[in-house]
Amino acid sequence: MTTVPGHGRLRALAIALVAIVVAAGCVSGGAGSAPPAPRAAADASSGAPPPGLPASTVDSPGAPGATGAPGGPGATAPPSPVRPTTPSSEPDAVQATVVSRSLWPGRGTVLLALEDAANAPVGGPDLVVRVAVRPADGGEPRAWVDARYERLAADGRGLYAADLDLPGPGEVSLAVEATAFGVAHRTVAVARVRDPGETPAIGALAPRTETPTYASADGDLARVTTDPVPDARLYWLSPRAAIELGRPFVLVIDSFAFRPSPACGGALGIVHHLADEYPAVSFIHAEAYATRVAGGRLVADPPGGPLRPAAWAREWGATTAPWVFVVDASGIVRAKFSGIVGTDEIRAAIRSVAGWVPTW
Kindly report, residue by residue over 51-83, the tens digit of the pLDDT: 332 333 333 333 333 333 334 343 333 333 333
User: Which is more confidently placed, 26 or 228?
Assistant: 228
Class of 221-353 in CATH: alpha beta
Pairing of strands 249-253, 282-286: parallel
Least confident of 9-18, 138-147, 151-160: 9-18
Whole-number Å distance between alpha carbons of 256 and 260 = 11
pLDDT at residue 22 greater than cutoff 60: no
User: Which is more confidently placed, 87 or 206?
Assistant: 206
The reported pLDDT for the residue numbered 3 is: 41
pLDDT at residue 107 greater than cutoff 80: yes
pLDDT at residue 170 greater than cutoff 70: yes
User: Which pLDDT band, with edges at 50, 70 and 90, does 152 fall under?
Assistant: low
Whole-number Å distance between alpha carbons of 156 and 5 = 7
**Predicted TM-score of the model (pTM):** 0.61
pLDDT at residue 177 greater than cutoff 80: yes
User: Which pLDDT band, with edges at 50, 70 and 90, does 137 fall under?
Assistant: confident
20-34, 56-70, 134-148, 211-225 — most confident range: 211-225
- In this prediction, what percent of the chain has a pLDDT beyond 90? 32
Q: Considering the domain 7-19+69-193 in this protein, what is its CATH number?
A: 2.60.40
The reported pLDDT for the residue numbered 265 is: 62
List, for residues 241-283, the tens digit of each pLDDT value. 999 999 999 999 998 888 766 666 678 888 888 998 899 999 9
The reported pLDDT for the residue numbered 304 is: 77
**Quick check: helix, strand or coil at residue 249?**
strand
**Quick check: helix, strand or coil at residue 19?**
helix
Residues making up the chain, counted from first to last: 360
List, for residues 293-336, the tens digit of each pLDDT value. 988 889 888 887 788 999 999 999 998 888 999 999 999 999 99
Domain ranges of the chain: 7-19+69-193, 221-353
The reported pLDDT for the residue numbered 124 is: 80
User: Which pLDDT band, with edges at 50, 70 and 90, does 101 fall under?
Assistant: confident
Taking residues 136-160, report their average pLDDT.
78
- In this prediction, what percent of the chain has a pLDDT beyond 70? 69
Whole-number Å distance between alpha carbons of 295 and 265 = 22
Question: Whole-number mean pLDDT of the chain?
Answer: 74
Residue 339 burial (CB < 10 Å; 0-12/13-18/19+)?
A: middle
Element (H, E) at 262: none
Whole-number Å distance between alpha carbons of 327 and 86 = 42
